[in-house]
Every structure is written in C-alpha cells, then in structure tokens.
Chain A
C-alpha cells in the first residue's frame, strides 16, 4: 500500500528540514521519498496543507498496567490513548504484576501489543528480580525478547553496588539504565514536596534532596562504569545542575521531564486536591523555571509523560492515602505546544528533538526521522486548532488528569504508525 502525505509543513531535524512544505511518500511501512511529489491516482493521498508533519513522537515513560492491573489500563486502552495523543511509540515501565523481570513477561507484553497493533510498544525490563533491588534480572534474555532499557521505576535500586553492577552489565547491550531517583530514607514517606505548601497543609513531606542524592549517585556510577544512566522525570533545579555538570564532564547521562513538572507547582494542590499528587511531587516556582530553562538549553533530553493511570476510587480519598500519578498521553502535545512553542521558549524543531529524535536515540530505536528508508512513523499536528481537555473523551481507561478543562492549542490530528493510519481527526 502506498500513502502520500501531501502538502504538510515538515519539521525533521534529522534532515535539517525546518517548516518546509514537503510531501512524504510511504511504501510498505517505510518512507519511500521526501520532496515535491506528483500524486498517482493509485495512491491513498492525505492533504495535510497547513498542518505540521513531524517524525512520530515517542513517550519513553508510560505505565499500561498490564499484566496485573487491567482495571486501570490495558495495552489496548493505553495504545489507543497513545495514538490519539499523537504518539507512535511508547516504552512501558516494568512495574506490573508480575514485574517485567524476565523474558516471558516481556514476550507477553509484545504479544499483546501485536494483537492490539496500534502504537509501537517497547518494553522496559526490570533491573533486579522482582524490582527488589537485590539480584540482577535476566537482562540479556529480556533484551533478546525486545526490551530496550532497564529500570526499577517505582521501586528504585537503593544498594549502590547493585546499581553499579547494573550500569556495568548494561554495557553488553548498550541499553540505558533508567532510574527513578528517590533516596527512600530522605523521602521519609512524604507525599508532597517539602516547602512552604507542605508546611501550610501539614502533610508528610519529601525533601528535594531525596531526588538529588540519587541523581548524584547515578552520575558518579555512570562515570566510573561507562554505563548510560537515564534520569527519569527530573524535577528539581539542583538535579538539573548536577546533570549539567556530569554532561560537561562527558558522563553518559540523559534525562527526561514530564509536562506536569514544567507546568504545575506544589501550590496548585490547593486544599488537598489528589489529582495533583504524584511522585516526584510537584515542586516550586524556581524548579518549574529551571525545567523550562533545561528544555531550552538542551540539558533536558526529552519529554516523557509518566502516564500513570489510576481508578477514580484510588484518587477519591484523603491526600496521604491517594495514589501517586496522573495520565498524560492525551494532552502532552497540546500542553507542550502551549507552554513551550506558543510561549516562544523553543522552536518546533527543538520540540521534535525532545519528543522524537532524542528518545529514539536514547533507546536505540531506528526512529525519530522521516528520511528516506526510515520506518514511517508520523505525527501530524494542527497548530491552529484548539482543544478543551475533557477526560470524558479520553481513550485511556482512567480519568486522573489535572489538566481537565484547560483549552490548549497544537492538537495532534493524524497518527501514522509503520505507514498505517491509526488515528485520523483531520
């Protein structure tokens, strides 16, 4: 099957194309040609005049909850949310039940993905067996089965020696070790950022140092081992400072930020609104400023949503008891468009780096480009269209999104995965 994406405004940093009117011809799932292409009546043709056409966006931090918590999300509902949100690829974190710490679970996830057949699902394996932080999981077997990274997300490795071994061992496969940085003793069971707001609300608080201590630990270990540490959902100004220093020293360290950490602050919690409870917790003004700065200056490599579905029941309780996390796939692009592009902070090209080129590179995927011969994953955005975020319209099984009700521009309208249109709202 041949598909011609006609007349769109293409932004593709891999080919130095920046807002040029180009056509993209797709044959057998790959890009066959880019340029001004004369249409052929046998092709399927989509007129993308006025729309922004970019390499498929990749969210390298999602929780699809399958296997184990299908009441929150499944590979199917999560995939639908992904493509509706303009994402062609996602990386699924391993903290499922059972934990994705062996090739059977990895294969299960991929077989589900094949059944659903919407977005590209890239499994992230666990670092340690059961994510218990003690013994390395069978990383090689998971990688053979299709895992592209390892992480004990949600239950970070405390033992420094184990983390060191993981970073060493990961070098065999050239995969990143993704770390949710949280020193548990320093976090002290806190459910909110320690600051003025936690003092006002009287909630058990988590010191920013809990994150920074592990960020520093990881950069030190990445430096001595030569492994690749990827810092998940970085959230404090100081964390970014340490990452910047490590990068300057040539350490192989990368990081991601979530939209909520560059938009929301702890004061948005108001009087205990559980939709604003996540881990890492929402920080302060200066941290949000630092995230925006890091996105602009290149310290931050990519944007990931940490899409964390929870049932309504899990959020309808007191703040301390409520579950951590929010869903992000279906509003991440409009949020980024509003707070990064419309505000004039970064260019569309930089946004494509953050959402496509860099995550592809970090995970060793051969994606993030619309060059001839590449897999035809395409995201199309209507920058003139506005949408009011409405959780009732979400494809995700869950509804825990604090951005409900916001009107945003920069709406994904077409998603093409492997040359196939999987979402079309043109």
Chain B
C-alpha cells in the first residue's frame, strides 16, 4: 500500500487506513530495536535532509536516527550555521538544498505554512513537516497515537484530554485532527486567553476548568507552556498557571485508574506538570520518544516507496 500524498504536510493528508498502516509498520520497526543488528539497508543510498529553521533537539535527532537506522544518509541543516543568517530567503535556501538532490526534506520552521511553501518547489523530493509555527506537527501526533495504542485497546470512544496552550500549539492541532480521525473523544482545556475562538470540528469539547477535562479521562496530554506568554497578558505568572492548570497527583485522581500521562516535551517541571507526575508510573513520556524513532522510520520508508518489502 502506497501513501496517497507525496508529502506529509498535515494530518489531513492521511486517511484513517493510512494512519493505521503507518502505525503497523512502525511497530514492526520497533521490534528490531532490541535485536543486535539495528541497521537495515532499506534506504541505502538515499539522503534525508533535516532542514531546521528553528531550534529542535528531539525531533531532529529522532529523524536523524530513524534515517540512519534505515541506512540512509542524514544531513542536518540548521539556521544558526547557515546562510540564512546572511539574509538568504527561504526560497533560495530551499532551492539550494534541493539542488543537492535529497530524497526527503524534513522541515521545521517558525512560520505556519512554510512546509507548504517549500513543497511547491519540491518536484523530486518528499517534504515532511516537522513542525511549522502554530500550525501542525504531524509526526508528533502519529507517534502519540502509536503510544496511546500501546496502552489502549481501541481509539473508539477513548477520552483524551489535551491541556495547555491550545491556541499556539501545533501538537494540539495535529492531535485533534488525528485522534478525531481515529474515533477518540477530545477535550481541550486552557485559560480562555490560550484557547482558539472556535474549532472547525464542533465535536471537540472545550473547557477552562482542568477538573472538567480530567474527569474520567483515558489519556491526559499536557502541552508545553511558553512562560514568555505571561508578558503578553495571556496569563499572569507561571505560578498561577500551575495552580490552575498544572497536573499533579491529586488532580490525576479524577482521571480513570489506568489513565496515561503524555507530554511532547520539552517539559517545564513545575509549570504544567508536577515532577511526581512526569516521573510517575502512569507517565509514558519516554515511550513517546522511543516510538518517535520507529514512527519516523516507518514514514521515511513508506514515503520513499518501499511498500512491498514492508509487507513481506
């Protein structure tokens, strides 16, 4: 089965069947992690270019490891050490990178829509959105779905609470699209100042009260809070934010007994999550990271067109 769209720019590019297929392939790859020969050669001779116009540690490393485990060459391009600081436009930077014939361009950018812009110039390379402004972070949502499916038998009717800066979170956007596609019930929770005015999907339940979001939840997904936002009158202080929206052990009692706690990282301990929760038994935060590598291997593999081998 080949993926319908050439690029992965948004979760909207994927059908439900494709998502399930990707997760299945990712699980296959994950099995190989513990065997001595981690390296496969499926993508030998292929080049994956990580074009990161915004700082990132985990996502970039994750793509790099994923590419290398499949035998591809991974090249990292970051703005601090590039001609972007000399004033080169995004278009020219992209055309220059593309002239080196990479097979995949993994793009992280601070502006929403930047990967769409670059994809228009990518006749031969596949573009993967690795996070664009406050728009989307599709691979994060996919690895989150993979992690949820490790712990829950089905997405159907699953109650997922997403808590934090919903308005500015690309992780929240991609997860809302993906988990809704998979049949979960989504609750979003933030102060009104960090909540978008309206959602396209009217089935999304939104609340300003953490207890309403947590009550009976199967999955609690905490988002990173950018403390700089207190200077934009969006909340008064990180201290008050934690007292209203921080996840701690007693609040977690409201969720189901077998509920899991997720976080895309980097974590702000004591701002959105109590250290006891982050390190506690219901936390699957490090599983998310581990799954991220497998998921990105699956994506690179499928987008570069090796479906037959994957099925065998």
Contact = CB atoms under 8 A, between A and B. Distances in A.
Nearest to B110: A320
Given A202-B134, A203-B135, A271-B116, A321 B111 contact: yes
A108 to B, nearest CB: 33
B90 interface: yes
B117 interface: yes
Interface of A: 194-196, 198-204, 271-272, 316-321
A341 B105 CA distance: 49
A397 to B, nearest CB: 22
A204 B168 CA distance: 9
B267 interface: no
B133 A202 contact: yes
A319 B200 CA distance: 21
A200 B198 CA distance: 10
Contacts of A194: 197
Contacts of A321: 111
Q: Tell me the dominant secondary structure on chain A's binding face.
A: loop
B199 interface: yes
Contacts of B200: 196, 199-200
B113 interface: yes
18 contacts: A194-B197, A196-B200, A199-B173, A199-B196, A199-B200, A202-B134, A203-B113, A203-B133, A203-B134, A204-B134, A272-B113, A316-B91, A317-B91, A318-B109, A318-B111, A318-B113, A320-B133, A321-B111
A201 B199 CA distance: 11
B197 A195 contact: yes
Interface residue tally on B, bucketed by range: 20 to 34
A321 B90 CA distance: 11
A202 B91 contact: no
B90 A203 contact: no
Interface string B175-200: 00000000000000000000011111
A196 B200 CA distance: 5
Given A202-B135, A203-B112, A203-B133, A318 B199 contact: no
A204 to B, nearest CB: 8
Given A318-B90, A319-B111, A321-B111, A199 B199 contact: yes
Given A195-B197, A196-B200, A317-B91, A202 B114 contact: no
A316 B198 CA distance: 30
Contacts of A317: 89-91, 117
Nearest to A207: B197
Contacts of A196: 198-200
Contacts of B109: 318
Nearest to B199: A199
B170 interface: yes
Give 8 closest A-B pairs by Cβ, nearest first. Answer: A202-B135, A272-B113, A202-B134, A202-B112, A199-B196, A318-B111, A271-B116, A203-B112
B89 A202 contact: no
